[in-house]
Amino acid sequence: MALPMKNFFSTVLAVFTAFIASFLLLIGLLVIASITSEDPTPKVGENTLLRISLNGTLEDRSTEDPLAGIDALVLGMEAPKVLGLNSFMEGLEYAATDDRVKGILLDQGAFAAGYGALEEFTEYLNEFKEISGKPIYSYGEYYTQKGAAISAFADSTILHPGGIFELRGIGTASTYYKDFFDKFGIEPLVVRGTGNKFKSAVEPYIASEMSDENRLQLTTLLTQFWDFIGQSFENKGIDREKLDAAANDFIGMDADACLEAGLVDALGYREDVIDHFESKYDLLDWSDYATQLPVSKSRDRIAVIYANGSIGNGSGDENTIGTKNIVKALRKADENSRVKAIVLRVNSPGGSALTSDIIHHTIADIEKPLIVSQGNYAASGGYYISCNADAIFTNSTTITGSIGIFMSLFTAEELMTQTLGLKVEEVQTHPMANFPNLAKHPDSAQYAILQRMIDRGYADFTGKVASGRNMEMDYLLPLCGGRVWTGKDAVDNALADLEGNLSDAIAYAAKQAGIEEYKLYELPTVEDGLQRYLKSLGAAKAESLPFTDHPAVEDLLFLAKNPGMQARLNPIFMNL
C-alpha cells in the first residue's frame, strides 16, 4: 500500500505545481495584454519639458520588460526601475537640438548609481546644457547623496519643505571574520600572488583588522569620490569648506538649513511644483520620448558589447560574464561585415582568471579597431579583459587596476577532529589526490605547489598587461600587487589612455574605423520579459534565500561556484 500512496501524493504535487505555473503564466500574459492595449505613446508637443524620473538604479543599459507591472498587479508592489545610460547617451544629445524640447525636469527619488555611471550621466546633462542652453530643473522629496550631486548641475533645485537632502560624506565598512572562524576551528586557506599585499578580496578571512595597504587604497578612492561631488557643487558656487560643513552637520535633514546654505534654491510641495511646470510646459516622461528617437539608416555599424558583472565559469547572462556570452558577442561583431569597429563596455569587478584569459585571447584575434570603455569598475579580471584593447577610455571615478591573483579555500581540521570527534582516513596514490580536504590543512609541500601555481598565474597576468599596454615590467610591477586605482590615476600612470565616457569611446572608435555615419549595434542580445519570466518558473535557487543577501555569504557562494584562481575585486569596493 505504501508505493501506490506515494505515487498518489507525487501525482497530486505534480498537478498542483503545474496549476501554479499555469496560473502565473496566465497572469503574465494578462499583464502583457493590458500593457500592449494601452493608449499609443504620447506625441512630443511643441513646448515639451522632459521629465526624467531618478527613482531606481542607473545601469549601462535598460531592458524592456513587459512583465514589469506584475508585482504591482499581484502583490501591490512597485517594481524596481532600471535606468539605462545608453538611452540618455543618445537621447540627450538629440533632445539638445530638438526645438520641441524646452528643458528637463529631474524628478528625484531613491536614486542609486556607481560613481562611473553618475559621472557619465552628469556629463550628458552638461553637454545638453552647453549645446542647447535649455534649462534643467530638479525636484524631490528625497535626494540621495548621488541624486544631490546631480542636482548641482540643475539651473534650479527644489526640495520638499519636509524633505531630505542627503549629504553626509562617503564611508564604507568591512567585517573581518578571522576571530569568528578561529572560535569554530575553521581555517581559510588563502594563497595570493607573491607581493599581492593590496589584493584585499580575501583579507577579511585571514586578518582581524584592515591592512595598511587596504586602508590606503580605500582612503584614496573615497577622497577622490568626495572630490567629484565637491566639484559638482562648485557649479552652484558652493566651495569645499561649505560643503564639508554641510556634511559634518548633516543639515540635509533640515530643508530650511539646506535652503539657507544654498544647497537648494527653493522649497515646495510636489503638487504646487508640478502645477507650476504644467502651466508653462507640456510634461512628457523620458521613457515616452526615448521611444520616438530617430534611428540611423547607415549600413555601417559600431558594435557596443556590454561586459557586465562578475566573471564566472558558466555561460553568462545579462548580469554576469561567462565563457560564452561575451566571446560569442565578440566573434559575432568581428564576423559581421557591417561592423567597422567594436567598443567593449567593461563594468566588472573580475572573477575567474580562466574565463578572463579566454576573453583576453578572443580579443587578441580581432583585427577591427577595439576600444574599451570602463564603467563603474573594470578591475582585476575586468582589467584583464581590457588590457589588450587598442585604447582604454575610463571615467575619472572608475575603479580599475587591482592587477593580482588569489585562490581561496577553507579547511576545518580542528572543528572536525577535535570539536566534533570525527576522524577521516585517507587512501591515495599521490600526495595531491585528496586535495583539497576539508578535514586536513595542507602541509608545507602542498601549500608550496599552490603558491607556485598562483605565482605563475600572476606572472601570466602581468605579462599580458605589459604586452597589451606596451610597458616595461619594471615600470608595471609597482602598479600591480592587487592595488586599486581610480580612472584618473590610471590615466596618469598609463594603465588607461584617456578620460572619457562611452560616447567618447564610440566617437574614437568611429574615427579609428574611418566612418562618420553609423548605427550602434548592442550585444549580447538580451532576453525579453516573457523569456525571463518563463525561465523564472523553474525551481527556486538557493541563492534566492534571504540569508544569502549578506555580502560574505554572496562572496562564499561565488567562490564555491567558481573554484580556481581568481582575479577579483574586493566586494567592498563594489558597494561604494
Choose the most confident range, by mean pLDDT, from 193-207, 260-274, 312-326.
260-274
Q: State whether 156 and 92 are in the same domain.
A: yes
pLDDT band at 575 (very low <50, low <70, confident <90, very high): confident
What would the DSSP string read from start to end of 439-487?
A: TB---HHHHHHHHHHHHHHHHHHHHHHHHHTT--HHHHGGG-TT-EEEH
Paired sense of beta strands 566-568 and 350-352, if any: antiparallel
Q: State whether 281 and 316 are in the same domain.
A: no
pLDDT average, residue stretch 46-68: 84
Q: State whether 446 and 378 are in the same domain.
A: yes
Average pLDDT, the chain: 87
pLDDT band at 20 (very low <50, low <70, confident <90, very high): low
103 domain-assigned: yes
Q: State whether 254 and 110 are in the same domain.
A: yes
**Mean pLDDT lowest among 66-80, 260-274, 558-572:** 66-80
Is residue 348's pLDDT more than 60?
Answer: yes
Q: State whether 256 and 317 are in the same domain.
A: no
The pLDDT tens digits of the residues spanning 383-421 come to 999 999 999 999 999 999 999 998 888 888 889 888 899
The pLDDT tens digits of the residues spanning 474-510 come to 999 999 999 999 999 999 999 999 999 999 999 999 9
154 domain-assigned: yes
Give me the residues paired with residue 410 across strands.
Answer: 188
19 vs 310, residue with greater confidence: 310
Give me the residues paired with residue 460 across strands.
Answer: none
pLDDT band at 41 (very low <50, low <70, confident <90, very high): confident
Q: State whether 355 and 227 are in the same domain.
A: no
Provide the pLDDT for residue 536: 47
Give the 3-state secondary structure of residue 277.
Answer: helix
358 domain-assigned: yes
**Mean pLDDT lowest among 70-79, 100-109, 248-257, 453-462:** 70-79
What would the DSSP string read from start to end of 136-198?
A: EEEEEEEE-HHHHHHHTTSSEEEEEEEEEE------------HHHHHHHT-EEEEEE-TT-TT
3-state secondary structure string across 198-241: CCCCCHHHHCCCCCHHHHHHHHHHHHHHHHHHHHHHHHHCCCHH
Is the previous residue joined to 436 through a cis bond, with omega within 30 degrees of 0?
A: yes
- Length of the chain, in residues: 576
Distance CA 66, CA 56 (A): 17
Task: Name the grid cell of 247.
Answer: 556634511
Provide the pLDDT for residue 26: 57
Final residue before a domain boundary, out of 259, 290, 321: 290
Rounded to 10 degrees, what is the CA torsion of 491, 496, 501, 507?
Answer: 120
557 domain-assigned: no
Paired sense of beta strands 406-411 and 187-192, if any: antiparallel
Percent of the chain with pLDDT over 90: 69
- Whole-angstrom CA distances from 456 to 405, 407, 463, 468 are 10, 13, 10, 18
Is residue 352's pLDDT more than 70?
Answer: yes
DSSP state of 405: -
pLDDT band at 331 (very low <50, low <70, confident <90, very high): very high
pLDDT average, residue stretch 49-75: 73
Provide the pLDDT for residue 74: 47
Into how many domains does the chain fold?
Answer: 2
538 domain-assigned: no
Q: What is the number of other CB atoms lying within 10 angstroms of the CB of residue 341?
A: 26
**Mean pLDDT lowest among 153-167, 279-293, 438-452, 453-467:** 438-452
Is residue 15's pLDDT more than 70?
Answer: no
349 domain-assigned: yes
Final residue before a domain boundary, out of 290, 310, 345: 290
Provide the pLDDT for residue 568: 66
CATH of the domain at 162: 3.90.226.10
Provide the pLDDT for residue 438: 85
Residue whose C-alpha is closest to residue 263's, from 272, 254, 275? 254
Residue whose C-alpha is closest to residue 143's, from 265, 225, 61, 248? 265
Helices (H), 234-281: 240-249, 255-261, 270-280
295-331: b or e for each residue (b if 16 or more CB lie within 10 Å)?
Answer: eeeeebbbbbbbbbbbbbeeebbbebbbbebbbbbbe
Q: State whether 262 and 338 are in the same domain.
A: no
Give me the residues paired with residue 158 across strands.
Answer: 139, 266
pLDDT average, residue stretch 425-453: 89
Q: State whether 270 and 308 are in the same domain.
A: no
Provide the pLDDT for residue 267: 98
Final residue before a domain boundary, out of 290, 322, 351: 290
Provide the pLDDT for residue 55: 94
Query: Cβ distance 144 to 150 under 8 Å?
Result: no
18 vs 167, residue with greater confidence: 167
Provide the pLDDT for residue 68: 52
pLDDT band at 8 (very low <50, low <70, confident <90, very high): very low
pLDDT average, residue stretch 112-116: 96
40-64: b or e for each residue (b if 16 or more CB lie within 10 Å)?
Answer: eeeebeeebbbbbbbbbebbbbbee
Is residue 538's pLDDT more than 50?
Answer: no
Q: State whether 258 and 336 are in the same domain.
A: no
273 domain-assigned: yes
Provide the pLDDT for residue 537: 47
Provide the pLDDT for residue 19: 54
Distance CA 275, CA 281 (A): 10
DSSP state of 134: -
Rounded to 10 degrees, what is the CA torsion of 428, 433, 437, 441?
Answer: 90
Provide the pLDDT for residue 526: 75
Provide the pLDDT for residue 432: 87
**Mean pLDDT lowest among 3-7, 135-139, 385-389, 415-419:** 3-7
Provide the pLDDT for residue 366: 97
Q: State whether 455 and 347 are in the same domain.
A: yes
Range of the domain at 121: 48-171+218-290
Q: State whether 129 and 234 are in the same domain.
A: yes
397 domain-assigned: yes
pLDDT band at 189 (very low <50, low <70, confident <90, very high): confident
Distance CA 348, CA 325 (A): 14
Distance CA 400, CA 420 (A): 44
Q: State whether 464 and 483 are in the same domain.
A: yes
- Find the farthest-apart pair of alpha carbons in the chain and give their distance in angstroms, rounded: 84
415 vs 340, residue with greater confidence: 340
Angle (CA) 187-189-193 rounded to 5° is 150
